[in-house]
A and B are shown apart, each in its own frame.
Chain A
Amino acid sequence: MIAGRRPEPELSSRSPSFFDEMRAPDGSVRPAYQQLAHWLDNVPKDVLDYRRKEAEFIFRRIGITFAVYGEAASTERLIPFDIIPRILNRGEWQKLSRGLEQRVKALNAYLHDAYNKREILRAGIIPEELIFGNPVFRPEMNGQAVPHNIYVMIAGIDVVRVDPDNFYVLEDNARVPSGVSYMLENREIMLRLFPELFIDHPVAPVENYADDLLATLKSTAPVTSSGEPTVVLMTPGIYNSAYYEHSFLADKLGCELVEGRDMFVKGDMLYMRTTEGPKRVDVIYRRVDDDFIDPLAFRPDTMLGVPGLMSVYQAGNVTLANAPGTGIADDKAVYSYMPDIIKFYLGEEPILKNVETYRCREPDQLKYVLENIDKLVVKEVHGSGGYGMLIGPAADKKTIENFAAKVKASPEGFIAQPTLALSTCPTFVEEGIAPRHVDLRPFVLTGRDKVRIVPGGLTRVALSKGSLVVNSSQGGGTKDTWVLDR
């Protein structure tokens, strides 16, 4: 997730410049935070300090770590955990949750259309290049029957708040979104460390996520699967940065955690090697990128996949969750069309807002972007994780000039957005309890029967003062997210 460092001048001149989720501008506490604020006022700092250390100790013991790319292979780091929960009230959540369901329905409808009839092109809603010019458009998925027409079973939608009434979607993640293990572990830790807080707060549970996920995956099993479908979780292996999450989820799902080498194809069926001989696999929750799942269909040099997996998929004998090729629905170029996409497929107004986005591919918008580049956040269309972007207000002249040259050279590769004034939440930092900027990634599960969303998600928090970058790879932390059930 990405955002600028500083608000636009006209925003910051307002007072206060940021929407704080706990305190109104007059200093009064918003209703959802009443009890928490009271508790925070009375709890000694050393108690918080002690419990934070305890939380860190527990995280390290259970091995909930992630690897940072570019650092030595053995580096295993902890994502900092902030012990002060973020709270949403029931009304806020209901609106958000309706918006998420709408958004993911539209993503699935768009994917089905983009890989089949492409009515959206005929209607002139989006340019052809958005589909065919996209390097993650998978020709192999063209006209391919997908079990129950569900492409994105698991979506992570990054949302932010800028005021009491509106949620903005910052980014859709329709490929292999991660982070859900932190949502679950953060809650576990909070229940262990602060049981007293849960007595005062009717916090909607999240621990049914694994059951929901399993039900979702099973509901999408291919029609050819016999009886109870066999679901597996496919991981690139222990050196993947999210391996902890993979093993954690496999454990909660009660399914095998497989690597590509554990499976093989025979006569258009997929099997895994077990101590009792080959066993058919019906549904793969795969946490391996498209490029690496089948060396006979995609990148030939990979050892992570299963040779022939796509043939089994073509034959309709296995479900891949998510389907290959979903990247054309979640990149930053298609993002700017999402409101139109929602209207086109669902005939509804979008419930969640889109951040205003300038498409550099369009000459007049490119002109605007280049003229105002020092006030904008410019992002690479295919970049992610906070890499390959320019935060205009925070960059020096030289950096801006270099970036502008890159944009001019291939404008279709970039979009630009105004810097967003992300909301803040109370966070326990060095100097005590202070507001820090947050975003939220709720997880949306789409099965054949229904859409399931556990109340909450992963709140990421930018720990340094004033920073709007919440990415864990760039020093962000996480919080438990409470949705109050009243």
Chain B
Amino acid sequence: MRIRIAHETVYRYDTPATKAIQILRLMPRNHDGQYVVRWRVEVSEDCRVEPREDAFGNLTHTFTVDGPISELAVRVAGEVETQDTHGIVRGTREKFPPSFYLRQTDLTMPNAAITDWAGEIGDGGKRPALETLHALQQAIYANFKFDVNATVPSTTAQQAFANKHGVCQDYAHIFCSAARHLKIPARYVGGYFLRGDGIVDMESGHAWTEAFLPDLGWIAFDPANGICATEAHVRIATGLDYLAAAPVRGTRYGGQGEAMAVKVTVDQASRQSQQ
């Protein structure tokens, strides 16, 4: 399937900012089941954009802009050819052994509520791992309410778990938290998702997870949709949690009254544009 993506983030300031720095993780890589046909990352202001690879093998773009900045836009546009791999993720750039992904972070650190819940799903270690992961995914999908207003980027797995609602990011954190507690390496994935219901405009990208089983390798679970990743998923960045895979991490100096507008369009590319 060929998926076309446009992702625009615009910052506006009532009083102009004097300086800004951002690190973008908005660049997909090729792997089995994902081929990047074309991809562009553009910054509206004049600046040098430094391409780099981060600790997890994600492609980053770093830039600094000198003010006065009253508006700053980051625009991403591209097309990716995908194939269904039944959730199996192969051919990715791996920089650490799977055991590294057992590490919890401030965002995924479980509390007793999460460990009890995970322990129950894993049946005290008696349930086979793959089955446990599917059950985890379904448990989150079935019992948590999707709510864009419920959380912020710094919401932890513990908070989201207690609230029983959140966004895909929170689902992914809860999944990682529980899986790692059960000694199954798990990681956060940020990317885009082509919806099945025909809606193409959205307010943000998507997030899901990957878990590692020795005989299968990395498998992608999407607790927000209750399915393993399909050809509708475009994988951009991975890491231990949202922070490590965040599409934008940045700081501005000065400037008051920031307003941020995000527009994401994920659509199936038409035959003509496939040329």
Q: Which residue of A lies closest to B250 (CB)?
A: A296
Q: Does A139 contact B (CB under 8 A)?
A: yes
Option from B19, B47, B99 in Cβ contact (under 8 Å) with A129: B99
Q: Does B15 contact A (CB under 8 A)?
A: no
Residues of A within 8 A of B55 (CB): 138-142
Q: Does B52 contact A (CB under 8 A)?
A: yes
* CB of A83, distance to nearest CB on chain B (Å): 46
> A268 CA to B96 CA in the complex, in Å?
26
Q: Does A135 contact B (CB under 8 A)?
A: yes
Q: Does B9 contact A (CB under 8 A)?
A: no
> A315 CA to B99 CA in the complex, in Å?
29
Contact B64 A308 (CB under 8 A): yes
Contact B64 A142 (CB under 8 A): no
What mask results when residues 1 to 40 of chain B are scored 1 for a CB within 8 Å of chain A, else 0? 0000000000000000001010100000000000000000
Contacts A296-B251, A311-B23; A267 near B48 (Cβ below 8 A) = yes
Q: Does B274 contact A (CB under 8 A)?
A: no
> A416 CA to B21 CA in the complex, in Å?
46
What mask results when residues 255 to 283 of chain A are scored 1 for a CB within 8 Å of chain B, else 0? 00000000011111000000000000000
> A296 CA to B246 CA in the complex, in Å?
10
Label chain B's interface by main secondary structure.
mixed
> A133 CA to B56 CA in the complex, in Å?
16
* CB of B181, distance to nearest CB on chain A (Å): 12
> A308 CA to B253 CA in the complex, in Å?
13
Contact A128 B50 (CB under 8 A): no
Q: Does B62 contact A (CB under 8 A)?
A: yes
> A142 CA to B66 CA in the complex, in Å?
31
Residues of A within 8 A of B250 (CB): 296, 307
What mask results when residues 115 to 137 of chain A are scored 1 for a CB within 8 Å of chain B, else 0? 00000000000001100110101
* CB of B47, distance to nearest CB on chain A (Å): 8
Contact B251 A133 (CB under 8 A): no
Option from A132, A141, A264 in Cβ contact (under 8 Å) with B103: A132
> A307 CA to B154 CA in the complex, in Å?
18
Q: Does A383 contact B (CB under 8 A)?
A: no
Q: Which residue of A lies closest to B246 (CB)?
A: A300
- Which size class do A's interface residues fall under? 20 to 34
> A299 CA to B243 CA in the complex, in Å?
9
Chain B residues within 8 Å of chain A by Cβ, number: 29
Residues of A within 8 A of B117 (CB): none
Contacts A266-B66, A301-B154, A307-B21; A132 near B96 (Cβ below 8 A) = yes
Contacts A264-B253, A267-B64, A311-B62; A132 near B56 (Cβ below 8 A) = no
Q: Does A295 contact B (CB under 8 A)?
A: yes
Q: Does A91 contact B (CB under 8 A)?
A: no
Q: Does B232 contact A (CB under 8 A)?
A: no
A-B contacts at CB below 8 angstroms, number: 70
Residues of B within 8 A of A315 (CB): 50
Q: Which residue of B lies closest to A299 (CB)?
A: B106
Residues of B within 8 A of A311 (CB): 23, 50, 52, 62
> A143 CA to B48 CA in the complex, in Å?
25
Q: Does A89 contact B (CB under 8 A)?
A: no
> A315 CA to B48 CA in the complex, in Å?
14
What mask results when residues 239 to 275 of chain B are scored 1 for a CB within 8 Å of chain A, else 0? 0100110000111010000000000000000000000
Q: Does A473 contact B (CB under 8 A)?
A: no
> A266 CA to B102 CA in the complex, in Å?
36
Q: Does A314 contact B (CB under 8 A)?
A: yes
Contact A139 B97 (CB under 8 A): no
Residues of B within 8 A of A307 (CB): 21, 250-251
Given contacts A138-B55, A139-B240, A308-B23, 12 further A-B contacts (CB under 8 A): A129-B99, A132-B97, A139-B56, A139-B95, A139-B244, A142-B95, A264-B21, A264-B253, A299-B106, A300-B243, A307-B21, A311-B23
29 A–B contacts from the bound complex (CB under 8 Å): A129-B99, A132-B96, A132-B97, A132-B100, A132-B103, A133-B100, A133-B102, A133-B103, A137-B100, A138-B55, A139-B55, A139-B95, A139-B96, A139-B240, A139-B244, A141-B55, A142-B55, A265-B21, A266-B19, A267-B47, A267-B50, A295-B251, A296-B23, A296-B249, A300-B243, A308-B251, A311-B50, A311-B62, A315-B50
Which 9 pairs from chain A and chain B are nearest by CB?
Answer: A307-B251, A139-B55, A132-B100, A296-B249, A308-B21, A140-B55, A266-B64, A311-B62, A132-B99
**A residues with CB within 8 A of B:** 128-129, 132-133, 135, 137-143, 264-268, 295-296, 299-301, 307-308, 311, 314-315
